[in-house]
Amino acid sequence: MKKLSTLLLATTLTGATLSAQAQITLDGIISATEIGTAAGQYTSLGAFTPAHVSSAGFGNAGLLRMYGANSSTKLYIGLAGTIEAGGNNFQLYMDLPNKSGVPVGTGLPSIAGATTVFGTFTGGSIGGTKLELEADAAIATTGRYDVQAAVYSSATSAVAKSLGDGLSATLTNDGVASTLPASQTTGLYSLFAGTRVAYLAPTGDITTNPGNTNGGGAGSYALEYEFNRTSLGLPSGASIVKVMAAYVSGDAFWSSDVIPEITGNGNNNLGFNPDFTVLAGTQAASVNVVVLSSRKADDAVVAMSVFPNPTQGSSTVSYQVQGGAQPVAVRVLDLLGREVRTLLNGKQNPGFHELSVATGDLAVGTYLVKVQVGDKLATRRLTVTR
The whole-number pLDDT of residue 19 equals 40
Q: Which tens digits make up the pLDDT trace of 8-62?
A: 343 333 333 334 456 899 999 999 999 987 778 899 999 999 999 999 999 999 9
Q: Is residue 42 within 8 Å of 76, Cβ to Cβ?
A: yes
Question: How crowded is residue 181: how many other Cβ atoms within 10 Å of its Cβ?
Answer: 14
Domains of the chain and CATH, by start? 29-288 (no CATH), 303-384 (2.60.40.1930)
Q: Which residue has the higher pLDDT, 355 or 9?
A: 355
Mean pLDDT of 140-161: 95
Given a cut of 60, whether residue 72 has pLDDT beyond it is: yes
Q: What percent of the chain has pLDDT over 90?
A: 69
Phi-psi region of 259 (alpha: psi -120 to 50; beta: other; left: phi over 0): beta
d(CA 227, CA 237): 16
The whole-number pLDDT of residue 18 equals 35
Mean pLDDT of 320-330: 91
Given a cut of 50, whether residue 168 has pLDDT beyond it is: no
Q: Is residue 34 within 8 Å of 246, Cβ to Cβ?
A: no
Give the residues across from 331 on adjacent strands: 342, 370
The whole-number pLDDT of residue 8 equals 39
d(CA 383, CA 380): 10
**What's the chain's average pLDDT?**
88
Given a cut of 60, whether residue 384 has pLDDT beyond it is: yes
212 Cβ partners below 8 Å, 6+ apart? 52, 64, 206
d(CA 216, CA 13): 26
Q: How confident is the model at residue 296 (pLDDT cuts 50, 70, 90)?
A: low
d(CA 195, CA 188): 14
Q: Is residue 283 within 8 Å of 244, Cβ to Cβ?
A: yes
d(CA 324, CA 333): 28
Lowest-confidence segment of 75-84, 227-236, 344-353 by average pLDDT: 227-236
